[in-house]
């Protein structure tokens, strides 16, 4: 289950980067901010996974 979560978090982070880039290219500040929010959320989830891994070891 842990590897699936890590893959999902990575894909969420990539989607956030795409949204941010599209928002910047189209001068859509709301889309750009949403992309940054998605990336931050994915990073937070990844940090949680790393903490879980430490306690599993």
The 3 state secondary structure assigned to 11-44 is: HHHHHHHHHHHHHHHCCCHHHHHHHHHHHHHHHH
pLDDT digits (tens, 9 = 90+) for 4-48: 888 998 999 999 999 999 999 999 999 999 999 999 999 999 998
pLDDT of residue 5: 83
2: Cβ contacts below 8 Å, ≥ 6 apart: 49, 52, 53
Measured between alpha carbons, how far is 13 from 18 in angstroms, rounded to an integer?
9
pLDDT at 1 over 60: no
Cα angle for residues 7, 34, 20 (degrees, 5° grid): 75
Measured between alpha carbons, how far is 4 from 9 in angstroms, rounded to an integer?
9
pLDDT at 49 over 80: yes
pLDDT of residue 15: 96
pLDDT of residue 25: 97
pTM of the model: 0.84
């Amino acid at each position: 289950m842990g590897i699936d979560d890590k893959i999902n978090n990575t894909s969420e982070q990539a989607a956030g980067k795409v949204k941010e880039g599209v928002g910047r290219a189209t001068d859509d500040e709301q889309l750009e901010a949403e992309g940054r929010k998605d990336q931050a959320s994915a990073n937070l989830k990844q940090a949680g996974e790393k903490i879980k891994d430490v306690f599993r070891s």
